[in-house]
Amino acid sequence: MNQRVYLDYSATTPMKQEVLNEMLPYFTEKFGNPSSIHAYGREAKQAVDVARDRLAKAMGAKQDEVFFTGGGSEADNWAIKGIAYANKQKGNHIITTKIEHHAVLHTCEYLEKNGFEVSYLDVDQYGMIDINQLKNAITDRTILITLMFANNEIGTIQPIKEIGALAKEKGIYFHTDAVQAFGNVKIDVNDLNIDLMSISAHKIYGPKGVGALYIRKGVKINSLIHGGAQERRRRAGTENIPGIVGFGKAAELAMETLETHISHTTSLRDKLVKGIMEKVDYVRLNGHPIHRLPGNVNFAFEFIEGESLLLSLDMLGISGSSGSACTSGSLDPSHVLMAIGLSHEIAHGSLRLTIGDFTKEEDIDYVIAELPKVVDRLRQMSPLYEKVKGGLK
Ligand SMILES: Cc1ncc(COP(=O)(O)O)c(C=O)c1O
């Protein structure tokens, strides 16, 4: 029986036992609706307050600046559409990048069909934006800069502090999709001048289907979900109490263990990169060599089909990803890998392996032992590789 090695922490994380323990009573005996004024309702409301407080502390915000949502995608939609429609008297121009998650890109495309203009910034070969290109893109009609904190595929971390300072200086709202960064890097919304920030519980060892949007006090934003008066009249719908409780606990744990989490994932990441680079030829590391998420590895193997590589690894019990979880299954090369300038062929030969708290040293040893063999076997089937190896090219 093969070992089972999960290396897809950027797609989702397993929930921690402490998180589940804290959630469980809210499915059964503590089942109240926080909008009810009786004891059951008050108990549920108090649980939401505790979770909100924990999240606020984890990002340096005030409690009443944190709003729960049904996940990171909803938070992105709310931030972008909410700012666009609330500020359209001031302007109709939004700036983003070509490497955002589809929750941001498709929201921007939707707004373009509805009278807004969007500038999509390029990135360099490492996935980094150019702050001068950002400055030049700003017009007197710009109302929002929405720019991801860290990329979900290649792990590149953007210069968020500089972007926040620029947005503040120009009087433009700054939203960041921090779904991948939160819990992996230290974030203080005031220090970084962030006005709006999306986060999601299932990326930080919490439950799926719950997220949050940080909205700085005073920011002019419309609601996305209309109905009841929940979330201080800004996001209708009976709250997902167990989910919110789990998110709060996961955020608290993430902050308590941030340093050890970063050193654990960074050292395994570096070991994996070194191990593969030493044993395999015609391979490069996608993403920034230094400014990248601690647990992110993304290789581009030449002369290989990423899908075949994934399937072969899956048979060995190794679970990775060929791009973002949302794009796997489609044959189009990832928009992120295209944006950093990879050819279609090399983009198709890319493999993302993301490391987390439960990854062990022996898991990485196993991958370093098996992956080169798989790459070698698949390349034997590539006529081009044979040619290159034989020096015929
Ligand atoms: C950068 C980024 N933004 C947004 C999302 C969407 O979050 P959720 O799955 O909670 O809707 C993801 C999930 O993969 C992500 O990686």
Tell me the two tokens of residue 280: 């395999």
Determine whether 108 is an active site residue.
no
Is the ipTM reported for this complex over the cut 0.95? yes
pLDDT of residue 333: 86
DSSP 135-202: HHH--TTEEEEE--SB-TTT-BBP-HHHHHHHHHHHT-EEEEE-TTTBTTB---TTTTT-SEEEEEGG
- 46 annotated to a ligand binding site: no
In the chain, residues under CATH classification 3.40.640.10 are 17-256
Higher pLDDT, 384 or 361: 361
> Cβ(103) to ligand 1 under 6 A?
yes
For a substitution probing ligand 1, which of 107, 146, 180 has the most ligand atoms within 8 Å of its CB?
Answer: 180
| Ligand 1 lined by 180 (C-beta under 6 Å) | yes
| pLDDT recorded at residue 326 | 44
The pLDDT score that the predictor gives to residue 324 is 42
Predicted confidence (pLDDT) per residue in 70-106, tens digit: 999 999 999 999 999 999 999 999 999 999 999 999 9
Q: What is the pLDDT of residue 313?
A: 97
Containing H/E element for 67? strand 66-69
Q: According to the CATH classification, is domain 17-256 in 3.30.300.20?
A: no
Per-residue model confidence (pLDDT) at position 325: 42
Q: For the segment 197-254, what is each residue's pLDDT rounded down to a tens digit?
A: 999 999 999 999 999 999 999 999 999 999 999 999 999 999 999 999 999 999 999 9
Confidence of residue 306 (pLDDT cuts 50, 70, 90): confident
Q: Is 382 assigned a ligand-binding role in the annotation?
A: no
Q: How far is the CA of 200 from the centre of ligand 1 (A)?
A: 7
Q: Is pLDDT of 159 > 60? A: yes
Task: Report domain 5-13+258-389's class.
Answer: alpha beta
Rounded distance from Cα 102 to ligand 1 centre (Å): 8
Tell me, what's the pLDDT at 327? 46
**What six digits make up the tokens of 50?**
């505790």
Question: Is residue 332 scored above 90 in pLDDT?
Answer: no
How would residue 323 be classed by pLDDT, with cut points 50, 70 and 90? low
Q: For residue 200, say whether it is annotated as part of any ligand binding site.
A: yes
Is the distance from the beta carbon of residue 71 to the nearest atom of ligand 1 less than 6 Å?
yes
Using the CB atoms, write b or e for 178-196: b if 16+ within 10 Å: bbbbbbbbebebeebbbbb
